[in-house]
Amino acid sequence: MPAKERKIAIMGFRSVGKSSLTIQFVEGMFVDSYDPTIEDTFERSYTSPRGQEYKLQLIDTAGQDEYSLFPTNYAMNINGYVLVFSVNSRKSFEIVQIIHEKILDQTGKQGVPCVIVGNKADLRMERVVTAEEGKALAEKWGAKYVDASAKENQYVNDVFDGIIQQIEMAEGSTSAKGCLIS
Ligand code: GDP
Ligand code: MG
């Protein structure tokens, strides 16, 4: 089986740990101060638990807020979205919901492959958004929720395993529909 190329956008409010999660996954380390303003694309090959090989392109976006115009290139050619908030910021959790609405608006779809990440789970004392809230939101969207820590490398792989699973599920359901029609 040839490697499938898939593009994943990492989105969320500023400073939630988008770059830290991406770099932890791609390079296996925690970079404490990464330029927050730049958008960068990272590549990694990855084999899914089902044995499918992937060439992943991870678009580590510069971050969004409630006023951001949604870039149309994030609506096209993206196979899945990792929407990150920080468990110590209620506002960042709200921004995830705003971004999700904009994605649906821009793509014209009812749902997109998506993983919601509650990052900085290591900051237990500062936590203001619970895992239950994250899970409830994910359930509402038919998405997956992961509590993670880029700093301690906790559940970072689950984030990316999760988005590949969501993408595979979405592709499986569309090809199934294709079979019904033909
Ligand atoms: P981005 O703006 O969303 O890309 O966020 P960054 O990855 O640049 O991280 C913003 C700040 O949060 C940096 O100071 C990171 O060191 C810190 N940070 C990122 N992930 C974690 C984490 O899992 N736990 C803790 N405690 N800090 C983190
Ligand atoms: Mg960043």
- Taking only the tens place, the pLDDT of each residue in 25-45 is 999 999 877 777 788 999 999
Categorize the per-residue pLDDT at 173 as very low, low, confident or very high, splitting at 50, 70 and 90.
low
CA 24, CA 151: separation in Å to the nearest integer? 8
Taking Cα atoms as reference points, which of 98, 9, 21, 93 lies closest to residue 58?
9
Q: Would you kindly state where each structural domain of the chain is located, as residue ranges?
A: 4-170
CA 123, CA 90: separation in Å to the nearest integer? 14
**Ligand 1 neighbourhood includes 113 CB (under 6 angstroms):** no
**Residue 102 in this model has a pLDDT that exceeds 50:** yes
| CATH code that applies to domain 4-170 | 3.40.50.300
**Ligand 1 neighbourhood includes 143 CB (under 6 angstroms):** no
Place of tokens 């939101």: 137
**Ligand 1 neighbourhood includes 172 CB (under 6 angstroms):** no
The ligand 1 atom at the shortest distance from the C-alpha of residue 14 is: 2
The ligand 1 atom at the shortest distance from the C-alpha of residue 13 is: 3
What pTM was estimated for this model as a whole?
0.93
Q: Nearest ligand to the C-alpha of residue 23?
A: 1
- Residue whose CA is at the smallest distance from ligand 1 atom 17: 17
Q: Nearest ligand to the C-alpha of residue 38?
A: 2
